[in-house]
Amino acid sequence: GGLLRAFAMCGKEGGIVLILLNFDEELSAQVKVDGVPLPAVREGEAAVMRREWILTAEALTSQMVHANGKVLSQDIFGVIDNVVDLFVTREANSSITLPPHSIAFAHVNTTDPRCPRINSSSSSSSSSSSS
């Protein structure tokens, strides 16, 4: 089998989340993001974007990990930096480049009805009683 793995799932905020793993020790991988239903973009409008996080390390046994080139550090309690804020923004349908031994996470906002936004509030909180 190959040394690249790809997974896709619906995101909690709607859209599609991609998880890509490159197990190759030497070669980078180019992954084309294709077949994701995107909203129509009219002339003059900005392209649909995705948020992307790529985690890398010098070797599989490294204790130092980078998120989009920034070294992640931990405090004395072992809590790691907030990786969520370290995303980069790219056009949704552009390729994702995975360096050797890397993991990529990408979130694409899409119009796919199979991946709606999940509301965290329950409908029971909006009910009222009358006397």
The alpha carbon of 59 is separated from its chain's Cα centroid by a whole number of angstroms, namely 22
Based on C-alpha coordinates, what's the Rg of the chain? 19
Rounded CA gap, 131 and 32, in Å?
60
pLDDT of residue 14: 84
Per the model's pLDDT, the better-predicted residue between 126 and 73 turns out to be 73
Cα separation, 116 vs 113, whole angstroms: 6
One-letter amino acid for residue 27 of the chain: L
Q: What is the pLDDT of residue 122?
A: 41
pTM over 0.85: no
Rounded to an integer, what distance in angstroms lies between the CA atom of residue 9 and that of residue 16? 6
Neighbour-count burial of 87, counting CB atoms closer than 10 A to its CB (0-12 exposed, 13-18 middle, 19+ buried): middle
> Which structural domains are found in the chain, ordered by start?
4-118 (2.60.40.1180)
Query: What's residue 123's pLDDT?
Result: 40
The DSSP bridge partners found for residue 56 are 66, 102
User: Which tens digit of pLDDT belongs to each residue from 34-44?
Assistant: 777 676 777 77
Region 22-40: mean pLDDT is 83
pLDDT, tens digit, 9 for 90 and up, residues 103-124 = 999 998 887 788 887 765 544 4
Tell me the β-bridge partners of 24: none
